[in-house]
A and B are shown apart, each in its own frame.
Chain A
Amino acid sequence: MLKILQNLDRRWIFLLMFVAVAVPLIMGTTFPETPSAQVTAVFDAVDNLPDGSNIFMALDYDPASAGELQPMASAFTRHCALKKHNIYFMTLWPPGINMIQGSIDILNEEYPETYKGKYGTKYVNLGFRAGNEGVIKLVVEDLKKSYTTDIHGTNLDNIPLTKNLKNIQQVDLLANVSAGYPGSQEWVLYGSSPFDIPTVVGCTGVQAPIMLPYIPDQLTGMLAAIKGAAEYEQAIINHYPELAKNPKAKEGLVRMGPQLVAHVLLISLIALGNVIYFLERRQGTT
């Protein structure tokens, strides 16, 4: 038995991982989530604002991280839509333009009475600009030095939402979803922290430890990885039960099933690997 395990073809492990992820995903298994203090802080930051407040949403990620971050971006968008907030979209990542379109589709398809046909008055898409933290420095001090037009080439002075917007210090909340550099950390360092702009972020699991030191002073709250997204979805559903009927509003909750089984598999593999290691040590083969 030991010999078989020692020489186990790694393709069996790959197969196990595939099954561990695929089965709960296909079955759509969900588990109840209890929003943590950090997630509750994010929820309150959006929910406690008066209806129709101005939210600046920077979606800095690409399709590679969409599996982890799209549920957060969608949940932010739905929560803002439920509160009828005005939304300014932008991105520091070139593929982020398509990620923004996903959120705009949610506004138009799920909340048509508030957003359909109201481009420029309820939401605006500023699109992508090159320059990383250089763009952040400009949008927090002089937006129109970085963005003279929106993504469609319309001058910002001709768009009702941006006509009188000098910089994003005037918005009520900055929400960022980020997969790395440039992203959450840069928004905190160059945007929210120097100008005290209330900020919430959603980021990947590997970014979470980097962002933790900024909570709660420079950062109001954080959604960390798919767990954070699932808890945020649960928090929104708890307050707006009508959303429970929308399967698209449970993307994060559904992905916690595969995460549970995959984590248990990983722990089992670590344990099995260590059993083999100690047996080898006892036999003097290592």
Chain B
Amino acid sequence: MKRTVPLLISAVTGFALIGTAFIPSFVDWGNDAMAWFNLLAAFAFILGGGNLLKMQLQKISAQQAGWGYAAVTLIAFFTTLFVGLAKVGVHPNAKFPEFSWSGNYLEEGSAFWWFFEYIFTPLSATMFALLAFYISSAAFRAFRAKNTEATILLIIAVIVLLGRTYASEWLTGGLPNTPIFGEGGITYSDFKLDHLSQIIMDDFTTPGMRAIKIGIALGVASTSLKVLLGVDRSYLGSDQEA
């Protein structure tokens, strides 16, 4: 029973959603199913918060290495949760001045807004910006022309890196638009770095990605059918649990 009911829910919902693409009267059913899904997704935030609490509290109680960071995470989590839920520093909505909680929690000047603007935003940007430093170190130490494949990759990387900046104009902007051999055909300007970069993107990257995507789509379709028909039941957990 524990497995049959979830299997039925999955199959009915899944086939209803597939049906929306082909049968107009299924569209409303599909939309209802998506509305339920979106409600469940909102509850996932609570599960996520609970999981964060559990993992960090375990680290602190076991005094694992770096447990101080877990404490910082929890303090930040509860402080943010409090200022957001309590709407600290938020003015009441002009339409409902008698209700002190009627204002927007993201109102400019509120505690939550301040946290976002002056803590979350600079920290997020800093973490992402650090990539530039690690990439430069990796470029120096790891990007070596050790074999033919690595050499090809290296040449393509240089073309794309330069082709995506004004350096391409400096280095190859002067190439004339005249044919190399006789009339018509390839011209010198075809070898401009930005043009070569575009050729790599259009004639190599795009077909490659298209092939990968078609492969993924076929894989997703077959896996989905296995799940909907009950052949693949791994998402329900092991047999022992059932």
Chain A: residues with CB nearer than 8 A to chain B? Answer: 8, 10, 13-14, 16-18, 21, 31-33, 36, 62-67, 95, 97-98, 101, 129-132, 134-135, 137-138, 141-142, 145-146, 151-152, 194, 208-210, 212-213, 225, 227, 256, 259-260, 262-267, 269-270, 272-274, 277
CA distance A209 to B135 in the complex (A): 19
CB neighbours of A134 from chain B (8 A):
34, 37-38, 41
CA distance A212 to B198 in the complex (A): 12
Count how many pairs of residues, one from A and one from B, have CB atoms less than 8 Å apart in the complex: 152
Least CB distance, A209 to chain B, in whole angstroms: 5
Known: A209-B205, A210-B209, A213-B209. A62 touches B124 (CB 8 A): yes
The reply to whether B136 and A266 form a contact with Cβ atoms under 8 Å apart is: yes
The reply to whether B42 and A260 form a contact with Cβ atoms under 8 Å apart is: no
* Minimum CB distance partner of A131 in chain B: B38
Which chain B residues in 177-219 approach chain A with CB under 8 Å? 198, 201-202, 205-206, 209-210, 213
Beyond the given A141-B31, A270-B143, A273-B142, please list 17 additional residue pairs across the A-B interface where CB-CB is below 8 A. A10-B140, A17-B132, A17-B136, A63-B124, A63-B125, A65-B128, A67-B125, A138-B31, A141-B30, A146-B38, A151-B104, A213-B210, A256-B165, A256-B166, A264-B162, A270-B139, A270-B154
CA distance A65 to B127 in the complex (A): 10
Least CB distance, A191 to chain B, in whole angstroms: 13
CB neighbours of A131 from chain B (8 A):
34, 37-38, 41-42
Least CB distance, A46 to chain B, in whole angstroms: 23
Least CB distance, A38 to chain B, in whole angstroms: 10
Is B45 an interface residue when CB atoms closer than 8 A count as contact?
A: yes
CB neighbours of B169 from chain A (8 A):
31
CA distance A189 to B37 in the complex (A): 18
The reply to whether A212 and B206 form a contact with Cβ atoms under 8 Å apart is: yes
Number of B residues near A (Cβ < 8 Å) is 57
The listed residue (B37, B144, B158, B161) touching A277 by CB distance below 8 A is: B144
What would 21 A/B residue contacts be, using CB atoms closer than 8 Å?
Answer: A10-B137, A13-B136, A17-B132, A31-B165, A62-B124, A64-B124, A64-B125, A64-B128, A138-B34, A141-B31, A194-B21, A209-B209, A212-B205, A212-B209, A213-B206, A225-B164, A227-B165, A259-B165, A260-B166, A262-B132, A264-B165
* Minimum CB distance partner of B154 in chain A: A270
CB neighbours of B42 from chain A (8 A):
130-131
Which chain B residues in 26-45 approach chain A with CB under 8 Å? 27, 30-32, 34-35, 37-38, 41-42, 44-45
Residue of B93, B139, B201, B209 with most partner-chain A CB within 10 A: B139
CA distance A192 to B52 in the complex (A): 36
Least CB distance, B120 to chain A, in whole angstroms: 6
The reply to whether A66 and B164 form a contact with Cβ atoms under 8 Å apart is: no
Is B116 an interface residue when CB atoms closer than 8 A count as contact?
A: yes
CB neighbours of A264 from chain B (8 A):
162, 165, 167
Least CB distance, A186 to chain B, in whole angstroms: 13
The reply to whether B116 and A95 form a contact with Cβ atoms under 8 Å apart is: yes
Known: A134-B34, A212-B209, A270-B154. A67 touches B129 (CB 8 A): yes
